[in-house]
Chain A
Amino acid sequence: MNVPEPVVVEVDTAGQPAALRTRRRQPITSIEDRWRIDDEWWRNEPVSRLYYAVRLGSGQRLVVYRDLTSDQWYRQAY
């Protein structure tokens, strides 16, 4: 349940999320929070994620994270 959903995120030069690409491009106006999770390091596929709580241009708030092991972006309710 609450399985992460892959999304396409544009990043700026500093590696911070700048826009979300779904059917259309939605710019990220602000990053409200950021935190990192490193867990299950003893497994073959350890969890290492960098979460961002961001606000889109439409005013919508959502949580995305970058999987630091695969360098993929995901969306997930936190």
Chain B
Amino acid sequence: MKILCVLLPHFPLRCEVEKRPGLEGLAVVLFRTAGSRRLVLDYSPELVRLQSGMVLQQAISVYREAELVRAAMPHYLSAFNSIPDSLEKVSPLVEGADPGCAYLGVDGLELIYRSDNALVDAAKEVIPEVFKAQFGIAEGKFLAYLLAVSSPPGEYRMLPGAADSFLKDFSCDILPISERSKQKLHDFGLHTLGQVATLASGPLQSQFGPEGKRIWELARGQDDAPLYPRGYEETIEESVTLPSVTVSLEAILASVESVLARVFFRDALKGRGICSLLLRARIWGAGYWERSIKFKEPAMNMRKTLSRIKSALEASPPPGPVEELGVRLTGLGYGTGQQRNLFSEVRANDHLAEDIRQLELRLGGPQVFKVKEIEPWSRIPERRQVLAPINP
């Protein structure tokens, strides 16, 4: 299958630059928190001695002058979601592999895009220039990825000749396999794909199991991994910046309410309810916080949604002062067999009983009754049920 790989190198960093153009040209290290550790997520291309996943202290010791920026993962994921959305205008088969890398199935599009140039131009048009996309076209995802890795920004590359000669100098670290297997390859003195390709598949399989066969095939440019086009999931997103940073639950809930009001105003939600949502908050000085909230039954109105969010926030409030709040609805569904309440404004039986009590005080005597069965089997009709006052 012919694949176009769209690679957005240093995607998290480019997202930050898009948000803060002042970072352009600076030596920047993006870090994320993993438990008590801080790890490098991304870095400026000129910081060649850094690696993703490196402990931040090591990175600082190498590049003391680098600007440290806390990574905002939800923002990068949200930004990347818009890339496959745009690429679907080029081809309906889009796999959003990782943030910064997408594959397009382009078989059968020859009538629309007469040449590979035209195809890449169409892809370039839908991707913001700030991401400096690189493209690779090949039969298979792995080869297309390597071609994209080795192509200049804004350009595309195709296989120049035989796959073997193109692949032979790539490091084994580029293989999409476990870190343990990569280390094991190096321990065996196999540092490049060319070295792996010279071996027979048997010894590799005996050492690496099923992964050994895949390593051997990939090193020879054979890749039959299917394209997994992403499933369509309708999402609705809304967010609001709080007038002032706050830890007050009431103020946070008021902001959630205003966000929900916008969500329920949307045509996309008409007649449907919320099955699950992601509540996001930007915490002052502490990055992003998010909480997934599921609903037992689709919440068809704002009151029900807000009540569920309130109980979730009371159980685990945001870890610091909130600057910005947003909701992302990921599951939309239809309500099933719900009987509407005659007294829709009354929330509980207690409230209803209280209203009736007030009415009866004003008018005197029992005014509202309920039908109570006493002898439903009786042959005498008036003996079967009685009207009993609701408030005895």
| Chain A interface residues toward B at CB < 8 A | 1-4, 37, 39-40, 47, 76-78
Q: Are A76 and B379 in contact (CB under 8 A)?
A: no
Contact of A37 among B371, B380, B385 (CB under 8 A): B380
Q: Which residues of B contact A77 (CB under 8 A)?
A: 381
Contact of B385 among A2, A39, A47 (CB under 8 A): A2
Q: How far is the CB of B372 from chain A (nearest CB, A)?
A: 9
Q: Which residues of B contact A37 (CB under 8 A)?
A: 379-380
Q: Which of A1, A37, A40, A78 gathers most chain B CB within 10 Å?
A: A1
User: Bound complex: CA of A4 vs CA of B383, how far in Å?
Assistant: 11
Q: Are B379 and A1 in contact (CB under 8 A)?
A: no
B262 interface residue (CB < 8 Å to A)? no
User: Bound complex: CA of A2 vs CA of B385, how far in Å?
Assistant: 8
**In the complex, chain B residues 343-392 whose Cβ is within 8 Å of any chain A Cβ:** 371, 379-382, 384-387
> What residue in chain A is nearest B379 (Cβ atoms)?
A37
Of the four ranges (under 10, 10 to 19, 20 to 34, 35 or more), the interface on chain B belongs to under 10
**In the complex, chain B residues 182-203 whose Cβ is within 8 Å of any chain A Cβ:** none
Interface of A is mostly: loop
Q: How far is the CB of B184 from chain A (nearest CB, A)?
A: 84
User: Bound complex: CA of A37 vs CA of B381, how far in Å?
Assistant: 11
The 14 listed contacts between A and B (C-beta, < 8 Å) are A1-B371, A1-B382, A1-B384, A1-B385, A1-B386, A2-B382, A2-B384, A3-B382, A37-B379, A39-B380, A40-B380, A47-B380, A76-B381, A78-B381
Q: Which of A2, A39, A77, A78 gathers most chain B CB within 10 Å?
A: A2
Q: Are A39 and B386 in contact (CB under 8 A)?
A: no
Q: Are A2 and B379 in contact (CB under 8 A)?
A: no
A-B interface contact total, Cβ < 8 Å: 22
> What residue in chain A is nearest B378 (Cβ atoms)?
A39
User: Bound complex: CA of A78 vs CA of B381, how far in Å?
Assistant: 6
Q: How far is the CB of B275 from chain A (nearest CB, A)?
A: 43
Q: Which residues of A contact B387 (CB under 8 A)?
A: 1
Contact of A4 among B379, B382, B384, B386 (CB under 8 A): B382
Q: How far is the CB of B171 from chain A (nearest CB, A)?
A: 87
Q: Which residues of B contact A40 (CB under 8 A)?
A: 380
> What residue in chain B is nearest A49 (Cβ atoms)?
B380
Q: A1-B386, A2-B382, A47-B380 are in contact. List 4 more A-B contacts (CB 8 A).
A: A1-B384, A2-B385, A39-B379, A39-B380
Q: Which residues of B contact A47 (CB under 8 A)?
A: 380
> What residue in chain A is nearest B385 (Cβ atoms)?
A1
Q: How far is the CB of B373 from chain A (nearest CB, A)?
A: 10
> What residue in chain B is nearest A78 (Cβ atoms)?
B381
Q: How far is the CB of B60 from chain A (nearest CB, A)?
A: 83
User: Bound complex: CA of A32 vs CA of B387, how far in Å?
Assistant: 31
Q: Which residues of B contact A3 (CB under 8 A)?
A: 382
> What residue in chain B is nearest A37 (Cβ atoms)?
B379
Interface string of B231-274 (1 = CB under 8 A from A): 00000000000000000000000000000000000000000000
Closest 8 CB pairs of A and B: A1-B385, A2-B381, A2-B382, A37-B379, A1-B387, A3-B382, A1-B386, A78-B381
User: Bound complex: CA of A77 vs CA of B381, how far in Å?
Assistant: 8
> What residue in chain B is nearest A76 (Cβ atoms)?
B381
User: Bound complex: CA of A1 vs CA of B387, how far in Å?
Assistant: 6
User: Bound complex: CA of A48 vs CA of B186, how far in Å?
Assistant: 104
Q: How far is the CB of A64 from chain B (nearest CB, A)?
A: 12
Interface string of B31-45 (1 = CB under 8 A from A): 000000000000000
Q: Which residues of A contact B381 (CB under 8 A)?
A: 2, 76-78
Q: How far is the CB of B129 from chain A (nearest CB, A)?
A: 78
> What residue in chain B is nearest A38 (Cβ atoms)?
B379
User: Bound complex: CA of A78 vs CA of B383, how far in Å?
Assistant: 12
User: Bound complex: CA of A3 vs CA of B384, how far in Å?
Assistant: 11
User: Bound complex: CA of A19 vs CA of B382, how far in Å?
Assistant: 25
Q: Which residues of B contact A2 (CB under 8 A)?
A: 381-382, 384-385
Q: How far is the CB of A77 from chain B (nearest CB, A)?
A: 7
User: Bound complex: CA of A77 vs CA of B382, how far in Å?
Assistant: 9
Q: Which residues of B contact A4 (CB under 8 A)?
A: 382
Q: Which residues of B contact A39 (CB under 8 A)?
A: 379-380
Q: How far is the CB of B130 from chain A (nearest CB, A)?
A: 76
> What residue in chain B is nearest A1 (Cβ atoms)?
B385
